[in-house]
Amino acid sequence: MRISLNWLGTFLDIDKSKASFIADALTNRGIEVEAIEFQSKGLEKVVVGKIITKDKHPNADKLSVLSVDVGKETLQIVCGASNMKSGDKVAVSLVGAELPNGLVIKKTKIRNVESSGMCCSMSELGLSKEASGIIILPENAKVGTHAAEVLSLDDVFITVATPPNRGDVLGYIGIAREVASILEQKINYSVTNVKSTAKGAGGLEVEIKDDHCYRYIGRLIKGVKIKPSPDWMIRRLEAAGLRSINNIVDITNYVMLETGHPLHAFDLRQISGAKIIVRHAKDNEKIKLLDETEKKLRTSDMMITDPKKVLAIAGVMGGIESGISDDTTDIIIECACFDPSSIRLTSKFHNILTDSSYRFERGVDIDFMGQVMEKTTALYKELADPKEIYEPVDVITRKRSERVVELTAKAATDFIGVNITDLEIEKLLTPIGFHVSKTGSTLKITVPSFRNDVTMKADIYEEIARLNGYDKIPAELPAVVISAEFSDGTNDERLKNNIRNILKGFGYLETITYSFVPDNYHTLLGYSDDDVIKLKNPITETMKIMRTSLVTSMLESVKYNFNHRNMDLRFFEIGKTYLSRKNSGHIPSPTETIANEQEYICGICTGNVINAADWTRGTKPENCNFYTVKGEVATLLAGLRIPSFDFVDINPGKAKYLHPGASCAVKCCGKECGYIGKVHPDLAHKFDLGGSDLYIFELAFDHLKLVANAGLSGKELPKFPLIRRDLSFMVPIEVRDDKIRSNIKKAGAQSLKNYGVFDLYNGKGIPEGQKSMAYYFVFGSDERTLSDSEVDNSMLKIIDGLKKEFLINIRT
């Protein structure tokens, strides 16, 4: 809400030069001031001038050439307006002025005639949106003085953001109350009852059939004259961002801004039998609103009606038919109090947010309504020349019960942490309308009717704390309490950091991508629409579905990087995937788990894995491949202290996003928990990445965390030397390493400690269909140094075993 300090100054004594002090104090009390604007800003070089001569422009029919006395000198000014004559006083922007609309005045030539300044219109001074002609100032304005003073453009505006619980500060009175307590003043606001000119209600009847309407005051005023509002009112409305319509409508808005209480005016002609009924809407009832939209109503919507039809959506917006028009003469003024929740639900459902619904949602002061009606009536009497003012009709269905909160100063002290006495509490609360009385050590605090937000002790503690100042609260640390109970998350975080640190060592960069993806990604990965979780209100096309896998996110990031010419990539993400639990659309109860959220580690790499410019390795790049990634994953799993892991064939039908000939599954402690492989060319093409070799791995964090961090135990080092032998042989190309290894194991060679492949060659010199492999074997004993012949025997056993199973050809 944008507050004019001139208007606010009618309720208390305000020194506008202290605007920023007031603004800071409001902010420190929880009513945040977002902006301070000085109306005279930009008008420092706008002065009163007197037109001495007015001549036609020699080269343009519509322009005039003026000579204007601005006190120190006489200026020649070219002017496009026609509403001035010589002798008029005008507002002149001197050369160098920077007006509120951003216009900078320079010495210039207009159609070959020099012009040193500008005669201003209302809009150029930031006064009004429309401008017809330049401003003609009063005769008595003194030449050379600031035009802003003459026009009383001395206002200061502060824009406040009010918290959603403080309905009471959505009007000037509420702000005035807070400011008054800051400045240690009392607000000056009194409303005197307007004398009715006619007896009775003039036939007006009010009936409340919906108990969400707590109180309704209606008043009939006859013979009003529709005309424009006076300038001062228009200015005040415009300062708050409201457009002036006519005196009848403007008065309702003006009183709403002043008191915070929304009002509405109906045209009596449109109300059958002069009877207002507040009721629920009927099924399929419709209304055309003031903004000319038509709404189909629900039975839970509260309506203002007459015996025949709906007139308005209660507290939200009036209907166009019963609104004020140019020929309206008799009006019904409505001042009502509605249940905030009911107004909110209706406003939300129909998506209509108005100044009225905004205030009703936040709560109005039911006890103040009589005065609001009197204030409104007084303005109609003053500005609309009514013939008859009838007595108001006041129907109350629910009386406000007085709210009293009991507490002690000690409890407040204990809660806030700052020493507070009974007297201080009274001194803080009384100026903002609370009443404090004392019985023994207990304080009875009566909450004023306008503070709907204060209902319990904590609310009073807040009032005390904020009025006393948060800066007075000491900073102290509570005693440390260590609880062993909640350690799951802490351990998870530690494990994730281990993963990050290991991957970091391989050069992987951690990335974080959005959890939502476009609505076709899951189908690319073989998921159906039933598997996924869809957003009801996605913000863009690319963020419609909760991702079922991190794989597509990684591919998207690769694409983004390729587009930015980053070609050698290694990055990973630790994040969740989301799958529907297929609860067939029924609304889950709070105890049900809604989705399967599983955490994965997913990494991708492509291109050179080493520093591209490394003279120590020569100029040949080392591109990543299946084995580099597999080795990195193996190192990662070892580093996480997973006691056993293995890489096996992928079960048919699984991980279809991978190249079937260049991928494997990862088993940790016997359970499959991830995949490694080359991205399937099909999928790569779908992301326009078909030209690149992309290697990816994904691991289920939820499984890793169950098996990681196996205990460590140190073993004694071997006392006797180990002996290594190598064996190189040719085998048919289809014989896999795992077969050879299990064969070696089966041979049961004595003292064999360790073995594995260390070379693979199938280039020049190797027959078609064959490959050359080299294995190492390490022998050792805990009891003695092995003799050569013992090792020779073991090797023979191994060679025999291999020869029995494969067509192998030992190379020497």
Q: Which of residues 160-219 bind another protein (CB under 8 A)?
A: 163-166
Q: Does 617 bind another protein (CB under 8 A)?
A: yes
For tokens 């699984």, the residue is 654
Q: Does 717 bind another protein (CB under 8 A)?
A: no
Q: Which is nearer to another protein, 618 or 691 (CB)?
A: 618
Residues 742-801 that bind another protein (CB under 8 A): none
Q: Does 737 bind another protein (CB under 8 A)?
A: no
Q: SS3 string of 186-240?
A: CCCCCCCCCCCCCCCCCCCEEEECCCCEEEEEEEEEECCCCCCCCHHHHHHHHHC
Helix (H) or strand (E) holding 92: strand 89-93
The answer to whether the beta carbons of residues 214 and 321 sit under 8 Å apart is no
**What residue ranges in 386-531 does DSSP mark as E strands?**
388-389, 393-396, 404-408, 435-439, 442-446, 509-510, 516-517
For another protein, the binding residue among 25, 428, 503, 707 (CB under 8 A) is 503
Strands 695-700 and 404-408 come out as unpaired
Q: Which is nearer to another protein, 232 or 514 (CB)?
A: 514
Helix (H) or strand (E) holding 669: none
* Amino acid residing at 596: N
Helix (H) or strand (E) holding 344: helix 340-350
User: Could you give the string, one character per residue 284-323, with x where binding to another protein holds by CB under 8 A and - elsewhere?
Assistant: ----------------------------------------
Long-range contacts of 614-623 (CB under 8 A, 24+ apart): 623/693
For another protein, the binding residue among 487, 523, 750, 754 (CB under 8 A) is 487
- Least distance CB 491 / another protein (angstroms): 9
SS3 at position 141:
coil
DSSP symbol at 341: H
For tokens 């009003």, the residue is 224
* Amino acid residing at 161: A
DSSP symbol at 268: G
d(CA 286, CA 263): 22
353 CB neighbour count, 10 Å cutoff: 13
- Least distance CB 466 / another protein (angstroms): 4
Q: SS3 string of 368-381?
A: HHHHHHHHHHHHHH
Q: Which is nearer to another protein, 231 or 614 (CB)?
A: 614
Q: Which residues contact residue 254 at a Cβ distance below 8 angstroms, ignoring those fewer than 6 apart?
A: 233, 236, 237, 379
111 CB neighbour count, 10 Å cutoff: 12
Q: Which is nearer to another protein, 474 or 661 (CB)?
A: 474
Q: Which is nearer to another protein, 507 or 526 (CB)?
A: 507
Cα 802-806-807 angle, rounded to 5 deg: 115
- 424-442 burial, b at 16+ Cβ within 10 Å, e below that, comes to bbbebbebbbbebeeeeee
Q: Which stretch binds another protein (CB under 8 A): 51-59, 228-236, 369-377, 535-543?
A: 535-543
SS3 at position 359:
helix
For another protein, the binding residue among 130, 327, 488, 734 (CB under 8 A) is 488
Q: Which is nearer to another protein, 282 or 504 (CB)?
A: 504
Q: Which is nearer to another protein, 514 or 720 (CB)?
A: 514
Q: Does 403 bind another protein (CB under 8 A)?
A: no
Residues 8-27 that bind another protein (CB under 8 A): 27
- Least distance CB 537 / another protein (angstroms): 6
The answer to whether the beta carbons of residues 258 and 173 sit under 8 Å apart is yes
Q: Which is nearer to another protein, 254 or 360 (CB)?
A: 360
Helix (H) or strand (E) holding 537: none
- Least distance CB 313 / another protein (angstroms): 16
SS3 at position 46:
strand
For another protein, the binding residue among 149, 510, 519, 531 (CB under 8 A) is 510
Q: Which is nearer to another protein, 133 or 538 (CB)?
A: 538
598 CB neighbour count, 10 Å cutoff: 16
d(CA 548, CA 586): 21
Q: Does 410 bind another protein (CB under 8 A)?
A: no
* Amino acid residing at 547: R
Reading across the β-sheet that carries 2-4, which strands appear in turn? 2-4, 156-161, 32-38
For another protein, the binding residue among 616, 651, 789, 812 (CB under 8 A) is 616
- Least distance CB 723 / another protein (angstroms): 25
User: Could you give the string, one character per residue 630-669, with x where binding to another protein holds by CB under 8 A and - elsewhere?
Assistant: ----------------------------------------
Q: Which stretch binds another protein (CB under 8 A): 151-159, 393-401, 420-428, 469-477?
A: 469-477
Q: Which is nearer to another protein, 352 or 778 (CB)?
A: 352
- Least distance CB 544 / another protein (angstroms): 11
Residues 425-464 that bind another protein (CB under 8 A): 456-459, 461-462
Q: Does 480 bind another protein (CB under 8 A)?
A: yes
- Least distance CB 96 / another protein (angstroms): 25
The two tokens of residue 400 are 């406000």
Q: Does 672 bind another protein (CB under 8 A)?
A: no
Residues 316-345 that bind another protein (CB under 8 A): 340-342, 344-345
For another protein, the binding residue among 25, 287, 465, 640 (CB under 8 A) is 465
Q: Does 493 bind another protein (CB under 8 A)?
A: yes
The two tokens of residue 295 are 């709404």
Q: Does 618 bind another protein (CB under 8 A)?
A: no
- Least distance CB 635 / another protein (angstroms): 14
Q: Which is nearer to another protein, 102 or 164 (CB)?
A: 164
DSSP per-residue string spanning 466-498: HHH-GGGS---PPPP---SS--HHHHHHHHHHH
For another protein, the binding residue among 571, 675, 701, 777 (CB under 8 A) is 571
- Least distance CB 471 / another protein (angstroms): 7
Q: Which is nearer to another protein, 129 or 564 (CB)?
A: 564
DSSP per-residue string spanning 556-608: HHHHHHHHTT--SEEEEEEEEEEEE---TTPPPPTTS--EEEEEEEEEEEESB
For another protein, the binding residue among 292, 351, 528, 615 (CB under 8 A) is 615
Q: Which is nearer to another protein, 616 or 812 (CB)?
A: 616
d(CA 386, CA 372): 18
The answer to whether the beta carbons of residues 550 and 557 sit under 8 Å apart is no
d(CA 239, CA 276): 34
For another protein, the binding residue among 297, 336, 533, 650 (CB under 8 A) is 533
Q: Which stretch binds another protein (CB under 8 A): 37-45, 583-591, 691-699, 803-811?
A: 583-591
562 CB neighbour count, 10 Å cutoff: 18
Residues 124-163 that bind another protein (CB under 8 A): 163
Residues 587-606 that bind another protein (CB under 8 A): 587-588, 590, 593-595, 597
Cα 492-493-497 angle, rounded to 5 deg: 115
The answer to whether the beta carbons of residues 573 and 585 sit under 8 Å apart is no
User: Could you give the string, one character per residue 361-380, with x where binding to another protein holds by CB under 8 A and - elsewhere?
Assistant: xx------------------
- Least distance CB 351 / another protein (angstroms): 12
Q: State the number of binding residues for another protein (CB under 8 A).
A: 102
For another protein, the binding residue among 418, 436, 706, 774 (CB under 8 A) is 418
For another protein, the binding residue among 203, 307, 417, 681 (CB under 8 A) is 417
Cα 118-120-121 angle, rounded to 5 deg: 150
- Least distance CB 534 / another protein (angstroms): 7
Residues 343-362 that bind another protein (CB under 8 A): 344-345, 361-362
Q: Does 538 bind another protein (CB under 8 A)?
A: yes
- Least distance CB 507 / another protein (angstroms): 3
